[in-house]
Chains A and B, each alone.
Chain A
Amino acid sequence: MIVLLAGLGGSAALGWYAWRRLEAPVPPRIATEELDPELAEAIETVRQKIHADPYSASAWGELGKLLRGSQLLPEAAACFAQAEKLDPQNPQWPYLQGEAVRMFDVEAALAPLERAAARTDTADTIAPSLRLAEVLITQGRNDEAETHLRRGLAAEPDNPAVHYNLGVLALERGDLDASLTHLQRGEHSPFTQRKACIQLAAVYRRMGKTEQADQYSRKADTLPLDSNWLDPFLADVTAVGRPAQFQQIHQLQMRGEHRAAAEQLTALIREQPDYRAYVALGESLEKLGDFDRAEQALRAAIALAPEKFRAYHQLSRLLWTRASKDARTDSRRAQAEFEDAAACARKAIDRQPDHAMSHVVLGLALRQLGKQEEALQSLRTAVELGPNLTDAHYYLGEILADAGKVAEARSSLRRAMELSPQDPRPQTALAKLKKD
């Protein structure tokens, strides 16, 4: 009897185990042949984890995050959906699912985000409520959005993103005063300052306050992109593979975070030197004032791909900047650098003849080398190609003034002033022209 029962139990266990293996969820098929090798390898590693334990929510979540970091969104969403089935009380999974799905099917993102919001205590985080509200706003479901925002506001009364969205809703319903109040709460936060200024301009315009509207429009145009608000659920979603990392680095550079960008680029180059990484590193190092290392990076880029344009242009600009500094203390060295800058600028122009800034750099280098006529021609070309470039007009004005062409010089300098009213150089140069 005991043997019989043991046999029955064993059979049942075996049957259950067989059924479980038979029914085990399978990761979505991802064509890895065309993917970055590092990403492909990482995907395969996590797939193996899932095969080993297909009922592990964390393994599914890990795969989802990996795919999300590389913008493979439908596949990431499928993984998060599976993780939720296995770990239904954890708000992380429906949140990440909704966050990924909203990028290609906004309406379908609502249900998982609603589940995430329902399972999250706003005392822990308001991220699901905030994300859900943002999606509801894009769908025109403003009342529901407001409910979730008010929940968020109760937990975090000073959250600028919440205030920003409440400001948008108030503007939608025509309550301009309320809109102003909320938007002003987001005016100085790095997460919302730019978009707050954009909306404030529109609100003031609707109020008939044109001057304030213009002021905020101008301010919005000068501000960098807003940083993404700190989303705890996305904190460990990282980009794997060089292309995804490049995109992240590009975002850092767009936000002016060059130190972080340079660190990541250095690490990438250490793994595998490549042209793009060297050029981007050169750019960030130059912005940080580390000219010597920037030059090294750009020369390395040129050595790798001498037929390409960008490294030559950046190097020419870098050399001119450094030479201008060196000219105060070591004129011989500066002259050599100006020669080098001119040579690099010419190579850049050979590769991209309509690049305005390359002509600016060439003109400036030629000016320092005493070749005034050639310099003038280069700056004229620069102005024609890039009429929006303050530097092109300013330096053209200076060279024209050097050549005694005062009327033309004034015209160029005035143009530079109109383009960049805050830039003191054209004003100073104009004043000097008047005195002379």
Chain B
Amino acid sequence: MKPLCPCGLFLSLVILTGLMGGCQSRQSDSSAADAPAVEEAWFLDWTEEKGIHFQHDAGPVPGDYFMPQMIGSGAALFDFNGDDRLDIYLLQNGGPRGARNRLYQQLPDGRFQDVSEGSGLDIAGHNMGVAVGDVNNDGRPDVVVTQYEGIKLFLNQGNGRFLDATEKAGLHNPGWATAAAFLDFDRDGWLDLIVVNYVEYDPSWPCTSASGTPDYCAPRTFKGRVARLFHHLGAGREPRFEDVTLKSGLGRLAGPGLGVLCADFNGDGWQDLFIANDGEANRLWINQQNGTFKEEAIARGVAYNAMGQAEAGMGVAMGDVDGDGLFDLYVTHLTEENNRLWRQGPRGLFQDRTAPGGLVRSRWHGTGFGTVLADFNLDGALDLAVVNGRVSRAPRGANDALGPHWSRYAERNQLFANDGAGYFRDISASNPALCGTAAIARGLAFGDFDNDGKLDLLVTTIAGPARLYHNVASVQGHWLRVRAIDPAHGGRDALGAEVRVRAGERVWVRWINPEASFLCSNDPRAHFGLGAVEHVDDITVLWPDGKQEKFAGGMVNRAVIVRKGEGESKR
């Protein structure tokens, strides 16, 4: 056989080398795979089992990219019929001719029954968020729904019926309302109402991304609106409110408001107001104890991030993440920003502690909306859940099941475990039920649905199903659930109360503050994960009117009701 020609051999070698090199150079760099799940899941999908069949109506798509489609909707968890079981109210955003809001009653077997029809809460519209509070002190929680066109107040009549009392109550909120919350800002025993408004939206204004693709308008395209404060006028046959927006000082500053939190920020025992603005400075209105408020967000460190930049403020969570007895704040933002953890210290002053909290080290993050700080595994430290969904189109869809329009906005949710010292570890990969499927999540509500001492979650999504998640975390400790009520005011929940549980040197603090997260109203009962503690020494409540009482402690792993006036007075 004739030997192979040298030039042919050389050429062959060249070609072979080229092909091999080509394979290498064409091989795309693959980023490291997400760390495999190494822990048990904390949440499992409970939706089907519990009989909740809710599909969110966001209106027609692709349509005109009507901006309200991108914002709503939230949900409420509350016991509307007083049977000590949490019920669910879910909102629709399909417009006046769209699907109607749904009310689900929890039955004794734990399943839910749709009792919307005839409830009065089954309204259509561009429904954004919901606040729950007993405005007439009759012991039955009432409901405020925020809408693109204003707000509605529904009075709980009992027997599963609610009556629209908006006009009679004098509640007129022109413009696009988003978040709302009840609070007693003047300590008169009657619940007042704060309504956060968004922007002066012009639906005829065309918006695109920087590359020219049609998309939903960004809030900076329009001027923001003022938040409105409605003062309850006190006892009477029917609740009536006065718009004190101007008088209170809140009318001074407008902004594109999306989130709200009512709490005592400066430790003087009076309720203050935090408003998360979308793309502008957040506002912190400090109660001056005379019917007026003074804005102090910049000086107190919660207006901007550490680099002095405004971020897109959407959802708000509060909780004491480092066990120092002071609540901290967590606010959700856009994908290209970072959700922000502000730790309080000293009292009334906050500092951006997102990086030291481990919250910039997650492999992935999205555009956050609903968010909750809660002790999911009962180890005594507050964990963090965030639900995500874009507000601008991604180049590719993330969930084909949502259809070609919505799939481009879908993102996965996230779950973080607290190490006990305020450092968070991303455990999303271990929780596929909650975090595995991309959707356009908005509301995240928390509550103990089965009264087993562990907090469960409800997630609302745009144009998708609402999902209920059962907390199945292996119990790492004990728990206590405290309901603080005021018998003098119809036995309603004492919104704004601070509840401290002490066991030896350790103290846990929670606040009766159902309106948090994004457009949601949550379980109003204070939930405590206590870790290894087996006995509680005492429970101290700082009531909304400034009085403080101490109640006996006792065994753990139970639900407790503390009633104002029945404790040992401290001040």
Contact = CB atoms under 8 A, between A and B. Distances in A.
A177 interface: no
Contact of A138 (B209, B220, B301, B355): B355
A71 B209 contact: yes
B302 to A, nearest CB: 10
Interface residues of B, number: 59
B228 to A, nearest CB: 8
Contacts of A341: none
22 contacts: A8-B6, A8-B7, A11-B10, A15-B11, A31-B395, A104-B335, A137-B307, A140-B354, A195-B308, A198-B304, A202-B298, A205-B301, A206-B349, A210-B299, A241-B212, A308-B202, A309-B204, A310-B205, A356-B200, A384-B174, A415-B246, A419-B251
Contacts of A123: none
A243 B360 contact: no
B211 A355 contact: no
Contacts of B451: none
B4 to A, nearest CB: 14
A359 to B, nearest CB: 11
Contacts of B202: 308-310, 352
Interface in B263-318: 281, 295-296, 298-301, 303-304, 306-309
Contacts of A146: none
B403 interface: no
B104 to A, nearest CB: 33
A243 B175 contact: no
Contacts of B300: 202, 205
B210 A106 contact: no
Interface of B: 6-7, 10-11, 14-15, 17-19, 21-22, 25-26, 172, 174-175, 200, 202, 204-206, 208-213, 220, 226, 245-246, 251-254, 281, 295-296, 298-301, 303-304, 306-309, 335-336, 338, 349, 351, 354-356, 360-361, 395
A82 to B, nearest CB: 11
B22 to A, nearest CB: 5
Contact of B18 (A18, A202, A216, A354): A18
A18 B349 CA distance: 66
B208 A22 contact: no
B211 A39 contact: yes
Contacts of A195: 304, 307-309
Contact of A70 (B175, B200, B210, B253): B210
A15 to B, nearest CB: 3
A111 interface: no
A220 interface: yes
A214 B297 CA distance: 10
Given A15-B15, A18-B18, A202-B299, 12 more contacts: A19-B21, A36-B208, A37-B212, A196-B308, A216-B299, A220-B298, A239-B210, A243-B211, A305-B204, A309-B204, A355-B200, A387-B246
Nearest to A393: B246
Main secondary structure of the interface of A (DSSP, over half): helix
Contacts of B220: 250
Given A217-B296, A388-B251, A388-B253, A138 B309 contact: no
A19 B14 contact: yes
Interface string A196-218: 10110110111000100110110
A388 B356 contact: no
Given A106-B360, A138-B338, A36 B17 contact: no
B360 A35 contact: no
A15 B11 CA distance: 7
B518 to A, nearest CB: 22
A150 interface: no
Nearest to B281: A221
A202 B360 contact: no
Nearest to B358: A140
Contacts of A210: 299
A354 B7 contact: no
A106 B338 contact: yes
Given A19-B21, A23-B25, A195-B304, A71 B211 contact: yes
B212 A34 contact: yes
A210 B26 CA distance: 62
A244 B211 contact: yes
Q: Give the secondary structure class of B's interface.
A: loop
Contacts of B295: 217
Contacts of B354: 140
A23 B175 CA distance: 59
Contacts of B304: 195, 198
A414 to B, nearest CB: 11
B15 A35 contact: no
Contacts of B11: 11-12, 15
B352 to A, nearest CB: 9
Contacts of B245: 387
Given A243-B209, A307-B204, A172 B18 contact: no
Which 9 A-B pairs rank lowest in CB-CB distance, beginning with the nearest? Answer: A140-B355, A195-B308, A36-B212, A19-B18, A15-B14, A387-B251, A308-B204, A71-B210, A205-B299
Nearest to A199: B308
Interface of A: 4, 7-8, 11-12, 15-16, 18-19, 22-23, 25, 31, 34-37, 39, 70-72, 74, 103-104, 106-107, 134, 137-141, 164, 168, 171-172, 194-196, 198-199, 201-202, 204-206, 210, 213-214, 216-217, 220-221, 226, 239, 241-244, 247, 250, 275-276, 305, 307-310, 351-352, 354-356, 384-388, 415, 418-419
A308 B209 CA distance: 20
Nearest to B214: A34
A18 B15 contact: yes
Contacts of A11: 7, 10-11, 14
A164 to B, nearest CB: 8
A23 B26 contact: yes
B177 to A, nearest CB: 11
Contacts of B205: 276, 308-310
B298 A217 contact: yes
B307 A138 contact: yes
A7 B7 contact: yes
A241 B211 contact: yes
Contact of B200 (A22, A107, A354): A354
A419 B252 contact: yes
A418 B211 contact: no
A19 B13 CA distance: 12
A276 to B, nearest CB: 6
Contacts of A419: 251-252
Contacts of B306: 137-138, 168, 172
A8 B201 CA distance: 73
A66 to B, nearest CB: 11
B213 A35 contact: yes
A202 to B, nearest CB: 5
Contacts of B303: 198
A418 B295 CA distance: 14
Nearest to A43: B211
A201 B323 CA distance: 27
A23 B204 contact: no
Contacts of B172: 384
Contacts of A31: 395
Contacts of B301: 202, 205
Nearest to B200: A355
A396 to B, nearest CB: 12
B342 to A, nearest CB: 11
Nearest to A7: B7
Nearest to B361: A107
B142 to A, nearest CB: 25
B322 to A, nearest CB: 15
Contact of A418 (B19, B252, B298, B361): B252
Contacts of A305: 204
Contacts of A247: 210
A204 B210 CA distance: 39
Nearest to A205: B299
A288 to B, nearest CB: 21
A72 B7 CA distance: 48
B213 A23 contact: no
